[in-house]
Amino acid sequence: MSVELVHPEGVHRVDVHHQVADTRGTRTVYLAGQVSWDLEGNLVGRGDVAAQAERCYLNVVAALDAVGATASDLAKVVVYIVDLDETRAEQFVAGRTRAAAALGVEFRQPSTWIGVTALAAPGYLVEVDAVAVLS
């Protein structure tokens, strides 16, 4: 495995992700930020943070698959959420959890969540940017 997820002793442990990804791969994959669009470029989940988060993660895994990578190769995820607050954070986790269940994977990589005022197109509430490392 090229990515080992770690909960360090000296850092507060959170339930939604690990604090550290220790990578030992030879190949790094950078994904463009994934939004909740379908194959035709249509917005999925208008007004629904959970639905958009779910679709973003499905798109992340599809992008990884295109280069022979999997969700377990993810080393770091940055999430952008429009008007981020506690409710939207909970909705985001619910959508990410649905995507993980549908794919049979876990999304526990180190992550940073950033509240923004808007994304690239009207209606988009979530964008997921990811880096994967493969051996």
Determine how β-strand 111-116 pairs with β-strand 74-82.
parallel
Q: What are phi and psi of 23, to 5 degrees?
A: -105, 145
State pTM to two decimals: 0.89
Using DSSP, state whether 4 is helix, strand or coil: strand
- pLDDT for the residue 29: 92
Q: What is the CATH topology of the domain spanning 3-8+30-134?
A: 60s Ribosomal Protein L30; Chain: A; (3.30.1330)
Residue 9 scores a pLDDT above 90? no
Residue 11 scores a pLDDT above 90? no
CA distance 12 to 84: 22
- pLDDT, tens only, 51-102: 999 999 999 999 999 999 999 999 999 999 999 999 999 999 999 999 999 9
Q: Where are the domains of the chain?
A: 3-8+30-134
Split at pLDDT 50, 70, 90, the class of 1 is low
- Any idea how long the chain is? 135
